Structure 1
Amino acid sequence: MMPPELENAIYGMLATPVLRTAEKHGVFARLIEGGPAGSEKLAGDLGLDRDTLERMMLLLTALRVLDLGDAGDFRVPAAVRPYLDRREPLFVGGFLEHLAEETSARLGRLDGYLKEGRPAEAAAPFGEVYRDEETMRAFMTAMWDLSYGASTELVTLAGLDGTARLVDVGGATGPFSVAALRAAPRLRAVVFDLPAIRPLAEETAHAHGLADRLEFAGGDFFTDELPAGDCLAFGYILSDWDDETCVELLAKAHRACTAPGRVLIMDRLFADDRTGPPATAAMNLVMHLEMAGRHRTAAEFAALLERAGFTDCEVRRSGGEKHLIVGHKNRR
């Protein structure tokens, strides 16, 4: 019999598109909001083909994304529900869309990269993301879904009560800033990102009732200096870039950081021996296909911080996939 690990790896290629298609057509929303149902009832409620839907549901059941009761009713398990409920901060629908519709289209690059290496011209990855408003909005939604839920825990780990001004570098529509402002009522924050993102970031600030405390500063962190603050944050940014670029960005953060201050790096971390976890290893490959960087160990991130001038680096691990690395400037 095939080892289950290999079986899951082989047939896992079907999981993401099936998950995305089911979410897109409201299958999980119907089960979460309307309760357990069989394939016939679900197909009727959603106007879908029963045979196709049932086959998809059986695959998701085998993958333990769904439970199947004795009466033939499918249900979303409690442990899975927060990630598939559009009303929850841990919802991953936008990220699923990005993986199924953007990342999957780039998997064909692997063969060429493997034989010839990643071409130098592939090092400017964001042109595709900003090619039009629809694509940019979809990417920002994916980043929000990937970031906001984790940010609520990372904000607690960061301990921002004594922070006056947070600068969210490359903060997109502000998932970390929003979580931080909700946790620290006296905090003010500025999202620094490309000018094209301003309308979406301002939408977010107004939607969350934070327009008076959350501002947007347009700029390019490669060519511009960063806004000043006593805490600068890089949320899932540095894994997009190579080591030298990361040191340059962190050096800019060191110059912008008012002392005593600190920098926060939030990202996935490889285990010290780089044997996992699987999600980090998977996204490390995605970084190679979509961006220009990689995922790192905690020690590698600390080394980058020290090269940029930060000291007393520490790692604060969360209960999830993303963790916090802190570097200090002129710590008392």
Structure 2
Amino acid sequence: MTNASPDRLVDIAYAYRESKALLTAVELGVFTVLAGGGLSLEALSGRLGLHGRGARDFLDALVALGVLDRDEGGQYRNTPEAARFLDRGRDTYIGAEMEFINAHLYGHWNGLTTALRTGQPVNPMATAEGGYKRRYTRPAEVMRFARAMTAATRPVARALASAFAWSDHRTMADVGSGQGCLPVELARQHPHLRCVGFDLAPMQAVFDRYVADHGLADRVRFSPGDFFEDPLPGADVIVIGRVLHNWDTPGKVAILRKAYDALPEGGTVIVYERLIDDERRREARALLSSLNMLVMTPGGFDFSAADCIGWMGQVGFRGARVSPLTADQTMVVGFR
């Protein structure tokens, strides 16, 4: 391999800088400030509170990364992509997830070596129940977490609304519903559906407000509970989206068993996750996501479709099938 180059390896090693630049831009509200139109270096720096030493390099780095444009007059503007997804004033905003990554995940990856050697998380909030009960004691944290989960759920909710035969069902329950993004989207697109969001009790006020803001309180309701301690609400379809990866194998199986018990004969469970390919060679994002579970949780890990189908079979589900939803989310559907 006389023509071999280290460039790709170097790019991977330095990828943290691209990530942190984007996360910081979202934190500072760069794209929201520019939603009102182009601004000069001085004006934009002033609005953002940036020191003159780093401002130009920071903003021009965002230009080089393709998330800002700069015209011949030196005015910075959002690219169409950034305008759509990173402006806090848009209902397509996904930046809340990036805010959560920046505040709660990024720094913990400094402990990856320790986690790999010990098998233990480096996240100080990690507990056997995932740290959710502790997080949910603080209203501001509940809102921050709910907004992040909504940002991550919105694309897959829209995909799931059209990827499954909802016309054949009258009711659905969303396990770990957060703010209620999924049931709201399903109810919005399918007026015959009645939906339930299941989550820990402190999430109810946030859920109810989100549902009311979308005018769907007559068809979308909240059911408080802990899926390890309480039965799940009954429905024709139970959705477990981006939940199972947080838990060890017994926890995953226990949640699926709860779903099986709550469904009627002929009922359907839908699990959607960032799945690892069965050969464990291609899906780097899913494998890195699983490492994030090592860093952040006592026993969580990501998994393949084959793994999920196996766990479904253990609790009695049959006829499982796998279908893609978005670029990185796939659903596994099983039947009681």
Pairing partner for 1:324 from 313, 316, 331: 331
Q: What residue in structure 2 maps to residue 272 of structure 1?
A: 278
Q: What's the CA shift string for 1:274-326, capped at 9, x where partnerless?
A: 23433323322222222331111222211121112111111111242112111
Q: What is the CA–CA distance in structure 2 between the aligned matches of 1:27 and 1:215, rounded to whole Å?
A: 36
Pairing partner for 2:322 from 315, 328, 331: 315
Q: What's the CA shift string for 1:212-253, capped at 9, x where partnerless?
A: 111111111101111111100101111111222111111111
In the alignment, is the contact (CA less than 8 A) between 2:137 and 2:202 conserved in 1?
no
> What secondary structure does 1:107 align onto?
helix
Q: How many Å apart are 1:176 and its aligned residue?
A: 1.0
1:180 is matched by which residue type in structure 2?
Answer: L
Q: What's the CA shift string for 1:170-207, capped at 9, x where partnerless?
A: 11111111111111101001111111111111111111
1:123 is matched by which residue type in structure 2?
Answer: A
2:138 is matched by which residue type in structure 1?
Answer: D
Q: What residue in structure 2 maps to residue 8 of structure 1?
A: 11
Q: What is the CA–CA distance in structure 1 between the aligned matches of 2:235 and 2:139, rounded to whole Å?
A: 30
2:20 is matched by which residue type in structure 1?
Answer: P
- 5 Å-filtered alignment, 1:107-122, equals 107-118=109-120, 122=127
Q: What is the CA–CA distance in structure 1 between the aligned matches of 2:114 and 2:262, rounded to whole Å?
A: 41
Q: What residue in structure 2 maps to residue 84 of structure 1?
A: 86
Pairing partner for 1:168 from 154, 171, 174: 174
Give the direction of change, closer, same or farther, for the CA distance of 1:114–1:229 in structure 2 (3 Å limit).
same
Q: What residue in structure 2 maps to residue 247 of structure 1?
A: 253
Pairing partner for 1:158 from 164, 175, 190: 164
- 5 Å-filtered alignment, 1:135-146, equals 135-146=141-152
Pairing partner for 2:307 from 277, 300, 304: 300
Q: What is the CA–CA distance in structure 1 between the aligned matches of 2:121 and 2:55, rounded to whole Å?
A: 41
Q: What residue in structure 2 maps to residue 125 of structure 1?
A: 130
Q: What is the CA–CA distance in structure 2 between the aligned matches of 1:285 and 1:64, rounded to whole Å?
A: 28
Q: What is the CA–CA distance in structure 1 between the aligned matches of 2:102 and 2:16, rounded to whole Å?
A: 10
- 5 Å-filtered alignment, 1:155-304, equals 155-291=161-297, 292-304=299-311
Unaligned runs of 5+ in 1: none
In the alignment, is the contact (CA less than 8 A) between 1:90 and 1:150 conserved in 2?
no
Q: How many Å apart are 1:129 and its aligned residue?
A: 2.4
Q: What is the CA–CA distance in structure 1 between the aligned matches of 2:226 and 2:206, rounded to whole Å?
A: 17
State whether structure 2 residue 144 is matched by structure 1 residue 147: no
Q: What is the CA–CA distance in structure 1 between the aligned matches of 2:178 and 2:49, rounded to whole Å?
A: 36
In the alignment, is the contact (CA less than 8 A) between 2:277 and 2:283 conserved in 1?
yes
1:268 is matched by which residue type in structure 2?
Answer: R
> What secondary structure does 2:166 align onto?
coil
Runs of 4 or more, structure 1, over 6 Å off, are: none
Pairing partner for 1:24 from 13, 27, 30: 27
Q: What is the CA–CA distance in structure 2 between the aligned matches of 1:72 and 1:298, rounded to whole Å?
A: 49
Q: TM-score, normalised by structure 1?
A: 0.90
The count of residues paired between Structure 1 and Structure 2 equals 328
In the alignment, is the contact (CA less than 8 A) between 2:176 and 2:240 conserved in 1?
yes
In the alignment, is the contact (CA less than 8 A) between 2:275 and 2:302 conserved in 1?
yes
In the alignment, is the contact (CA less than 8 A) between 1:236 and 1:266 conserved in 2?
yes
Q: How many Å apart are 1:268 and its aligned residue?
A: 0.8
